[in-house]
């Protein structure tokens, strides 16, 4: 009985382990702690975004605006810090608030006007991406002392390996999200709405609050990912994170979350992101393959996972 | 003596209008503590509306509701719950993906500093189910691992846990088998003894007398009367519900005796047809103009046979021939003149947002393909003809089908398939959840059709109904066809024995 509930997430973990083992077998220098840590370093922003997306998808929705919100965050941060001389201490809270407000707005439209999340967040995606170019059509490079310091700080771990501050932020987000999903009413209400919104309403759960909360959370996570991305790239640019909403959704689905809502785990998403990272790493170790092979492999994996979910859910409905 | 007590709930002169429809006019309803009160009426009599008005889903146009002597005004199901009125609907309104314990407690989880205490919650849920409902299950499993019957009990547990003054059970038994119904009734009796008031809605007459103390009857949105169950003979109850004598049922044409089915040509023949996990291989032949009934308990494989005969499911073995030709897909089945009225009216039959007319012509249009559209004028003629013939109410072809009552939706589905002039009509539970008047009309229709030469496969949970319409009955037990009973042997006794086995 244990297996059914956690089957998808076990498949995800096993797949990650398998890919890592294959990489370690094929390439020298692959099997090291630092390679794993690099997965986190290079994908911290993806992880943070995917955590927010996990809640959205579990609630039965989708958020296409995340990539654009990241770009907008980098752009606003860069212009305020570089061109207007604001302190990062003011800029970072401001962009986080902005991301949350943006998500709140979309959530309110989705809920109160009963419009499909797909189309509302698609509009949000165009809007945020377009706003980037209102600020500037060029890259704005950041040389602020705080940003460069954060970007270059290495936190040493025993054994000579290290992580960046971004990784610490991302791991804290994951830990908080697990707690939020499983130990708070908000989290459980998200699962309930994903299971059956009608029932959730009749059971007297705060559906409006929860649905809007989910998009607010996703907007906040995207903005935080944008801050982390700014640390990572040290620039603001309207073409940052193009198409990342799709990578994010892919990571969540590979992590075992059902697109129909109601089922999924934050830890599954964590491994979904690592799987994407490990594919990239294998391809860069290979050296001869173009980086587009990442997309091909992710595409195939997505097919596999969607089929697996379909098989699992039809078997479930067969049971009386 | 009972009348001297104060009712816990009293509804007086309730009126409710919808655009164009008077759903309730001047309905009274009283509920006494520690009583099971059955709300009876045909489809469209206003039972659902009355419940929805009481639970705050709809607002009341006119009238008063009092709970424990206090004026009660509820604007949402949540407010009704808070006031102590909980409802368990026919379709279980819980979240299938959450655990049993969560479904009982969500929204009111035991917490410390905002952190949900899972252990305490699971323990409380297990205790609640054991003590009050005698249900011993693993409460940490997702709800959808359990049967509908258990899900319904979980819904009751949730209602009890929230508030225990008034419990409304809206057709709780319609998808339960006999044992499950008995379990539910035991629990209802226990709860009654604990002082809970239960409002019970059902279509099954037997159940009303088995469990209820008091009966209120509605007809066409009007109050007919309130009676003690013991003082109201069954025949009178039915007469009051349909507003006329039982002639309808007695008028049914009796089957022509001695018509040997062997003489007639075979319409459909299944030999050794079977599907693993669904139904063991069976032989079944249906002759022209014959009504074959399928009898058996819920889950004995009745629907599975119907789906195989329509080629909706692929068999593992055996052959299916319609007039000598093989049938492998539903499309071929339709071309061969087979029509299938599914038991899931809502999900597999009607298209709620289309009008009655559009729903009727759907199958006919499908057989013609995309290019030969049926003219609007012809469509209207067809719709009018069938609305008259089947007595569909309201008789407006442009009404959206979702606004019709269950019985009338079923008639529209019948019209859809009759229009294609099928040679064999498969009816899976055509009378489930519809009122007795409409039931009689559908049974009558089946007999008329068979006299005109149409073959019918008739599936129903109600044995009497199967016996009334069928020339021959195939009996199923545990996903296996056990026997066929025909002609003189065909009576309730024999069929029951075959179902029970032994």
Residues of A in contact with B81 (CB under 8 A): 204
**pLDDT for B496 beyond 70:** yes
User: What pLDDT does residue B258 have?
Assistant: 42
**pLDDT for A4 beyond 70:** no
With CA atoms as reference, the chain A residue closest to B55 would be A202
**How far away is chain A from the Cα of B313, in angstroms, using its nearest Cα?**
13
Strand partners, A154: A164
**pLDDT for B211 beyond 60:** yes
Q: Does B107 touch chain A (CB under 8 A)?
A: yes
Contact call for A204 and B77, based on CB within 8 A: yes
pLDDT-derived band at B6, boundaries 50, 70, 90: confident
**How far away is chain A from the Cα of B276, in angstroms, using its nearest Cα?**
12
Contact call for A195 and B107, based on CB within 8 A: no
**Span(s) in chain B for CATH 3.40.50.300:** 2-245, 261-500
Whole-angstrom distance between the N-terminal and C-terminal Cα of chain A?
A: 16
What are the E-state strand segments in B247-403?
266-275, 279-287, 291-295, 317-322, 325-326, 338-341
**pLDDT for B1 beyond 50:** no
Q: Does B138 touch chain A (CB under 8 A)?
A: yes
Q: What is the mean pLDDT of chain A?
A: 91
Q: Does B441 touch chain A (CB under 8 A)?
A: no
How far CA B177 is from CA of A133, B181, B211, B251, B461, in Å, comes to 65, 6, 16, 30, 9
Contact call for B158 and A202, based on CB within 8 A: no
CB proximity under 8 Å: B 73-102 to A? 77-78, 81, 89, 93-98, 102
Q: Which of A254, A294, A281 is nearest to A270 (CA)?
A: A254
Residues of B in contact with A207 (CB under 8 A): none
Contact call for B106 and A262, based on CB within 8 A: no
pLDDT mean over B101-124: 91
**How far away is chain A from the Cα of B394, in angstroms, using its nearest Cα?**
28
The count of C-alpha atoms lying within 13 angstroms of the C-alpha of B118, restricted to the half-sphere facing its C-beta, is: 11
Q: Does A200 touch chain B (CB under 8 A)?
A: yes
The DSSP secondary structure of A198-220, one letter per residue, reads HHHHHTT--HHHHHHHHHHHHHH
Q: Does A205 touch chain B (CB under 8 A)?
A: yes
Please, where are the H alpha helices in B163-274?
178-193, 205-211, 234-242, 247-250
Domains in chain A: boundaries: 7-310
Percentage of residues in chain B having pLDDT higher than 70:
92
Q: What would the pLDDT profile of A181-209 be if each residue is shown by its tens digit?
A: 999 999 999 999 999 998 898 888 899 99
**pLDDT for A1 beyond 60:** no
CATH (residue range B2-245): 3.40.50.300
Q: What would the pLDDT profile of A127-170 be if each residue is shown by its tens digit?
A: 999 999 999 999 999 999 999 999 999 999 888 899 999 999 99
How far CA A301 is from CA of A251, A255, B268, B419, B431, in Å, comes to 10, 11, 46, 48, 47
Tokens 């609050």 belong to A209
Distance CA(B229)–CA(B252), nearest Å, equals 29
**How far away is chain A from the Cα of B312, in angstroms, using its nearest Cα?**
15
Measured CA angle at B475 (ends B472, B477), to 5 deg:
175
ipTM of the complex: 0.86
Q: Does A188 touch chain B (CB under 8 A)?
A: yes
Residues of B in contact with A205 (CB under 8 A): 106-107
pLDDT-derived band at A221, boundaries 50, 70, 90: very high
User: What pLDDT does residue A187 have?
Assistant: 95
User: What pLDDT does residue B4 have?
Assistant: 56
- What's the token pair of residue A60? 């039965």
Residues of A in contact with B74 (CB under 8 A): none
Contact call for A5 and B142, based on CB within 8 A: yes
Q: Which of B95, B98, B109 sits opposite A185 (nearest CB)?
A: B109
From A94-98, B96-100, B199-203, the region with the lowest mean pLDDT: B199-203
Residues of A in contact with B276 (CB under 8 A): none
Q: Does B347 touch chain A (CB under 8 A)?
A: no
Q: Which residue has the higher pLDDT, B106 or A7?
A: B106
Q: Residue A63: what are its φ and ψ, rounded to 5°?
A: -130, 105
With CA atoms as reference, the chain A residue closest to B119 would be A183
**How far away is chain B from the Cα of A195, in angstroms, using its nearest Cα?**
5
Contact call for B93 and A198, based on CB within 8 A: yes
* Site from A57, A181, A199, A259 to mutate, B interface, most B CB atoms within 10 angstroms: A199
**How far away is chain B from the Cα of A260, in angstroms, using its nearest Cα?**
11
Per CATH, the architecture of A7-310 is what? Orthogonal Bundle (1.10)
Residues B312 and B340 sit within 8 Å (Cβ to Cβ): yes
**How far away is chain B from the Cα of A62, in angstroms, using its nearest Cα?**
19
Residues of A in contact with B96 (CB under 8 A): 195-196, 262
Per CATH, the architecture of B261-500 is what? 3-Layer(aba) Sandwich (3.40)
């Amino acid at each position: 009985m244990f297996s059914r509930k956690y089957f998808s997430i076990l498949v995800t973990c096993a797949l990650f382990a398998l890919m890592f083992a294959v990489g370690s077998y094929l390439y020298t220098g692959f099997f090291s702690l630092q390679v794993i840590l690099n997965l986190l370093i290079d994908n911290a922003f993806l992880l943070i975004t995917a955590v927010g997306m996990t809640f959205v998808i579990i609630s039965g929705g989708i958020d296409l605006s995340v990539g654009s919100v990241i770009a907008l965050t980098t752009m606003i941060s860069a212009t305020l810090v570089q061109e207007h001389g604001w302190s990062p201490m003011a800029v970072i809270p401001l962009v986080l608030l902005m991301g949350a407000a943006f998500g709140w707005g979309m959530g309110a439209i989705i809920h109160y006007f009963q419009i499909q999340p797909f189309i509302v967040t698609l509009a949000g995606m165009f809007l945020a991406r377009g706003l980037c170019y209102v600020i500037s059509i060029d890259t704005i490079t950041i040389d602020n002392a705080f940003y460069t310091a954060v970007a270059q700080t290495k936190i040493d771990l025993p054994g000579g390996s290290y992580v960046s501050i971004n990784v610490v932020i991302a791991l804290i987000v994951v830990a908080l999200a697990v707690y939020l999903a499983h130990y708070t009413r908000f989290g459980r209400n998200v699962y309930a709405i994903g299971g059956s919104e009608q029932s959730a309403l009749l059971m007297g759960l705060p559906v409006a609050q929860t649905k809007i909360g989910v998009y607010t959370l996703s907007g906040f996570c995207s903005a935080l990912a944008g801050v982390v991305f700014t640390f990572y790239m040290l620039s603001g640019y309207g073409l940052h994170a193009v198409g990342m909403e799709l990578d994010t959704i892919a990571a969540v689905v590979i992590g075992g979350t059902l697109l129909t809502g109601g089922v999924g785990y934050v830890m599954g998403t964590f491994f979904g992101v690592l799987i994407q990272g490990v594919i990239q790493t294998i391809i860069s170790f290979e050296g001869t393959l173009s980086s587009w092979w990442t997309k091909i492999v992710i595409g195939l994996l997505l097919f596999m996972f969607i089929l697996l979910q379909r098989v699992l859910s039809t078997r479930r409905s067969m049971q009386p | 003596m009972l009348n001297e007590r104060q009712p816990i709930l009293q509804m007086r002169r309730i009126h409710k209008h919808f655009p164009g429809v008077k759903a309730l006019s001047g309905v009274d309803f009283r509920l006494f503590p520690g009583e099971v009160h059955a709300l009876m009426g045909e489809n469209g009599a206003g039972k659902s509306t009355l419940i929805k008005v009481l639970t705050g889903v709809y607002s009341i146009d006119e009238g008063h509701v009092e709970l424990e002597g206090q004026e009660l005004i509820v604007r949402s199901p949540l407010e009704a719950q808070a006031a102590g009125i909980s409802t368990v609907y026919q379709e279980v309104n819980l979240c299938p993906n959450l655990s049993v314990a969560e479904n009982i407690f969500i929204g009111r989880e035991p917490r410390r500093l905002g952190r949900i205490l899972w252990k305490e919650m699971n323990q409380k849920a297990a205790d609640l189910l054991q003590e009050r409902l005698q249900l011993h299950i693993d409460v940490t499993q997702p709800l959808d691992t359990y049967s509908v019957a258990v899900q319904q009990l979980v819904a009751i547990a949730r209602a009890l846990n929230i508030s225990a003054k008034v419990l409304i059970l809206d057709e709780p038994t319609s998808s339960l088998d006999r044992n499950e119904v008995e379990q539910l009734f035991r629990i209802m009796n226990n709860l009654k003894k604990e002082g809970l008031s239960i409002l019970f809605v059902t279509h099954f007459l037997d159940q009303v007398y088995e469990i209820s103390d008091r009966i209120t009857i509605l007809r066409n949105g009007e109050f007919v009367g309130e009676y003690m169950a013991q003082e109201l003979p069954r025949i009178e109850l039915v007469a009051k519900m349909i507003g006329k004598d039982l002639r309808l049922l007695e008028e049914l044409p009796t089957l022509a005796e001695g018509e040997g089915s062997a003489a007639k040509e075979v319409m459909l023949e299944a030999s050794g047809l079977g599907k693993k996990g669904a139904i063991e291989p069976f032989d079944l032949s249906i002759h022209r103009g014959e009504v074959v009934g399928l009898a058996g308990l819920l889950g004995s494989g009745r629907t599975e046979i119907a789906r195989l005969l329509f080629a909706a499911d692929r068999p593992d073995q055996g052959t299916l021939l319609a007039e000598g030709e093989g049938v492998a897909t539903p499309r071929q089945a339709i071309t061969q003149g087979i029509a299938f009225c599914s038991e899931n009216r809502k999900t597999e039959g009607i298209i709620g947002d289309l009008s009655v007319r559009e729903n009727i012509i759907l199958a006919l249009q499908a057989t013609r393909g995309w290019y030969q559209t049926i003219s609007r004028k012809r469509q209207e003629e067809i719709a009018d003809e069938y609305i008259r013939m089947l007595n569909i109410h309201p008789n407006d072809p442009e009404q959206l089908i979702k606004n019709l009552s269950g019985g009338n939706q079923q008639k529209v589905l019948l019209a859809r398939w009759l229009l294609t002039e099928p040679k064999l009509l498969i009816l899976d539970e055509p009378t489930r959840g519809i009122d007795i008047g409409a039931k009689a009309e559908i049974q009558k229709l089946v007999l008329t059709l068979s006299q005109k030469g149409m073959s019918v496969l008739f599936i129903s949970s109600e044995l009497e109904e199967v016996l009334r319409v069928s020339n021959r009955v195939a009996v199923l037990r545990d996903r296996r066809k056990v026997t066929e009973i025909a002609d003189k042997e065909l009576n309730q006794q024999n069929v029951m024995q075959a179902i029970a086995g032994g």
